[in-house]
Amino acid sequence: MEQSDVIILGAGLVGLALAAALDGSGLSVIVVDPGDPEQRTAAAFDGRTTAVSSSSMRMLEATGVLDHLPEPGCPIMAIRVADGLEPGGLTFEPEDDEPLGVMHENRHLRAALRARAEAGRNIRLLWKSSHTTLVRTEQGVRVHLDDGRERRAPLLVVAEGRNSPTREAAGIRMARWKYDHAAIVSTLAHERPHEQVAYEIFYPSGPFALLPMNDGPDGRHRSAIVWSVPQGDAAGWTSLSDQDFAAEAQGAMGGFLGKIEMLAPRSTYPLGFHHAARITDTRMALIGDAAHAIHPIAGQGVNLGFRDAAALAQVLVEGARLGLDLGDAQLLERYQRWRSLDTLMVAMSTDSLTRIYGVPGSLASRVRRFGMGVVDRLTPLKALLNAEARGTSGDLPLLLQGMSI
């Protein structure tokens, strides 16, 4: 039998970020994941990129994760939003020298988080492991793994992703629906530099996001794309040759980056929404996609998970210093209150944006462009939206401020 302060189910981006945060404050963690760590960091496993907000970057720096990055990310110094290729739009820029966010390849984030966890004195990583039975009582948590051994802790954290079996077994109700869209993800090279600007171009058929990446080893300018297309058309889009798809993508962006060429295979992901009615249960807390999943329209999905991890880490560390049981219901209620409103507001905002920009017709387009023009001129409102994009609004946990707990 092995004892720890916390058991985390799931060694994805958010689960390992929480492990690093807890380790830095001296709490012991066992992380259980059925996956192969070598496959997780291979380019073929996850070819996506993530726009890590400036507040999330502070957390990754404060917990020592950035020290293990194999490559630096590409700063995002501006975000430009447009309704199709019509004139006008909205531009967000930082008010200081700190970028709005940094683009990282997911495989690099996974590698850094894994290396940080392996270096942690209080972290025990159990890869290629699954639990056979899980018991949560008022006295504690007992997890039996497929190696025949039992692990115990006062708290279980569920970071298994959107299809979490542990969440489902706990009977936590979910609000969920599917968007009739799929996201096509790839990387392309382009003739002109992106100048560290991210673009979000909205079409009635779905948004087209162009996200800056560092130049490749050959010096070619690169960007990642996330193109939402109707679900019924996804197979047709992925069956196009690279040359034909590049031509379509070049047309969607209006050709402002010059000639483009595909650099990576295209992957498709179904798009959906879900939100847990509650994110705690008896000696259990949900984080990341196990608690909520949103449309990628604003690039906030992983950042919401990092905010969960930062808030839960602070609640647990401060509770431990007071000598409290880490699975205490009142302690978990603090985490529930802290995160529920923020995640719900972000989830509903992204869902509303998806629906508003999906309305076809010239009149709807003119209304949207008028609204963007108003926002661009209203400095306080624009500053508020800018803070949301950077993840610096609301009651921020210490780690998101770049401070230790």
Domain-located, residue 6? yes
Number of domains in the chain: 1
What is the pLDDT, as a whole number, of residue 39? 86
- Determine the Cα–Cα distance for residues 157 and 135; give it in Å rounded to an integer: 13
Q: What is the pLDDT at residue 392?
A: 62
Structure tokens given for 163: 């299809």
Q: Is 276 helix (H, G, I), strand (E, B) or coil?
A: strand
pLDDT in tens, 121-162: 999 999 999 989 999 999 999 999 998 899 999 999 999 998
Domain annotation covers residue 282:
yes
Task: Give bridge partners of residue 188 from the DSSP assignment.
Answer: 223, 262
In this structure, the strands spanning 74-76 and 123-126 are unpaired
Cα 378 from Cα 284, distance rounded (Å): 43
Please check whether residue 82 lies inside any domain of the structure. no
- Structure confidence by residue, pLDDT tens digits, 89-98: 778 888 778 8
Residue 349 belongs to a domain: yes
Task: Indicate whether 183 belongs to any domain.
Answer: no
Within-domain flag for 31: yes
Residue 40 to residue 238: CA distance in whole angstroms: 24
Residue-range definition of the domain harbouring residue 151: 2-72+103-176+272-355+394-401
Q: What is the pLDDT of residues 176-221, one digit of tens each?
A: 877 788 889 999 999 999 999 999 888 888 889 999 999 999 999 9
What is the spatial distance between Cα 201 and Cα 245, in angstroms, rounded to a whole number? 17
Range from 281-290, 294-303, 394-403 carrying the lowest mean pLDDT: 294-303
Q: What is the CATH number of the domain that holds 157?
A: 3.50.50.60
Q: What per-residue string of b and e applies to 293-307 under the rule 16 or more CB within 10 Å gives b?
A: bbbbbbbbbbbbbbb
- What three-state secondary structure class fits 82? strand
Compute how many other C-beta atoms are within 10 angstroms of the C-beta atom of residue 252. 17
Mean pLDDT for the chain overall: 87
Instruction: Judge whether 64 lies within some domain.
Output: yes
Question: Is residue 374 included in any domain, yes or no?
Answer: no
What is the DSSP code (8-state) at residue 225?
Answer: E
